[in-house]
Amino acid sequence: MLKKAGWVTAIAAAGISLSSAAVADMWRFALEEVEGSVQHVYAQEFKKRIEKRSDGDITIEIYPYGSLGTSPQLTALIKQDAIQLAFASAGHLGSVIPEVGVFTLHFLLSDDNKINEQVLATTEARPLLQEAYHEQDLQLLGIIPEGWMVWTANRAIESPTDMEGFKVRTMTSPILEESYRAYGADPEPLPYAEVYSNLRSGQIEGQVNPIFAIEEMKFYEVQDYLIQAKPAQFITTLIAAQGFYENLPNVQKTMIDDVTDEMRRYIFDKQEELNQQRLETIKENGDIEMITLSEEQRQAFREKSLPVRDAYIEQAGERGEKILEILDRELRAEEKEKGGSAKEDDSAKEDDSADEDDSVGED
């Protein structure tokens, strides 16, 4: 009751009425992350583009993490029309929409991030995901990767054996929890705002987040190791209430669709830039030891992770199984095509080189 009372107080302090319908010319946009994060960068650019295209008829207010509540509370506010837009990451939403847990499965996405960006933008699984969101009265507006998930720990982790009994903070996704149990770890779901204090006190031994979050939340200050294994991307989704979106004039729906489509390339580049900048900041300001797993070491984790896909199918059902099959097929097809193209390019270069050698010989 106290937590709920605090949440309501925060909403009231922000000037938002739980009972009020969405105001047509004021869209409130709530984030799961603090200012300076990937989500904040996205929201600022989204705001700029929507306000410009609407000639000022629409204004957007941005609420960084902590302004209105936790991730599940933001989703509740969307459903109540108290806010119009929010981010809902797969790691949190998976407990409500099991199908979205596919994005938390380890070693599903390609190691080539450009392939991930392309497939996530064009996947044939999108209508199935939208169907699942609609069942929760939500509208899926975008799927946004924010960078590779990275482990920080008070111990060196280079094999699944090193994770035995490891108390690691995860988001509330059942699939995420299963993923770390498969490695022998002891997952501890905690709110984002409580991670630093629990790391410092030793209540948990490590956590998983993209680089930018590790830097901005200062997790590296209270950890000894930063381990890059590339098990998965941190993926969030942009959502609105289904009723809010469907009741918009067609011109505004088209505006949202166009802007979110354009933002795909923008945020993909920005997240890479931001994560690299934050990694340099960690190296400059911290003394945390960096570990990058080899392909052989990653393979050991990959093998341990595969049975979790069965757990995902059990939780997400037939629709989830179809989503997994489609994404896996599309990702592997893109990898095969790109691999073939790379080999063709190499062969062409070798042929050109041979021709040049022949020409030199003739001279």
Helices 113-122, 308-362: axis angle to 10 degrees equals 120
Task: Give pLDDT tens digits for 45-88.
Answer: 999 999 999 999 999 999 999 899 888 999 999 999 999 999 99
Tokens of 177: 């929890």
Element (H, E) at 92: helix 90-93
Q: Which residues pair with 143 in a beta bridge?
A: 237
What is the pTM assigned to this prediction?
Answer: 0.86
In this prediction, residue 172 has a pLDDT band, given cuts at 50, 70 and 90, of confident
According to DSSP, residue 65 is labeled T
Task: Report yes or no: 334 and 136 within 8 Å, Cβ to Cβ.
Answer: no
What distance in Å separates the CA atoms of residue 360 and residue 352, rounded to the nearest whole number?
A: 12
Task: Report yes or no: 180 and 168 within 8 Å, Cβ to Cβ.
Answer: yes
Task: Give pLDDT tens digits for 117-170.
Answer: 999 999 999 999 999 999 999 999 999 999 999 999 999 999 999 999 999 999
Question: pLDDT at residue 276 above 70?
Answer: yes
In this prediction, residue 196 has a pLDDT band, given cuts at 50, 70 and 90, of very high
What distance in Å separates the CA atoms of residue 180 and residue 43, rounded to the nearest whole number?
A: 31
Name the residue with higher pLDDT: 348 or 292: 292
Task: Give me the pLDDT at residue 10, please.
Answer: 52
Task: Give me the pLDDT at residue 3, please.
Answer: 46
* Measured CA distances, 88 to 95, 142, 272 (Å): 11, 10, 20
Average pLDDT over residues 263-268: 94
Task: Give pLDDT tens digits for 240-265.
Answer: 999 999 999 999 999 999 999 999 99
Question: pLDDT at residue 345 above 60?
Answer: no
What distance in Å separates the CA atoms of residue 195 and residue 72, rounded to the nearest whole number?
A: 17
Question: pLDDT at residue 16 above 90?
Answer: no
Q: Which residues pair with 61 in a beta bridge?
A: 28
Question: pLDDT at residue 331 above 80?
Answer: yes
Helices 174-182, 308-362: axis angle to 10 degrees equals 70
In this prediction, residue 341 has a pLDDT band, given cuts at 50, 70 and 90, of very low
What distance in Å separates the CA atoms of residue 341 and residue 337, rounded to the nearest whole number?
A: 6
For the ranges 130-139, 229-238, 353-362, which has the lowest average pLDDT? Answer: 353-362
Task: Give me the pLDDT at residue 21, please.
Answer: 41
Task: Give me the pLDDT at residue 15, please.
Answer: 55
Q: List, in order, residues 6 or more apart from 267 with CB less than 8 Å away.
A: 38, 41, 42, 45, 144
Q: Taking phi first (over 0 means left), then psi (-120 to 50 degrees means alpha), and beta for anything else, what does residue 107 get?
A: left
Task: Give pLDDT tens digits for 277-307.
Answer: 999 999 999 999 999 999 999 999 999 999 9
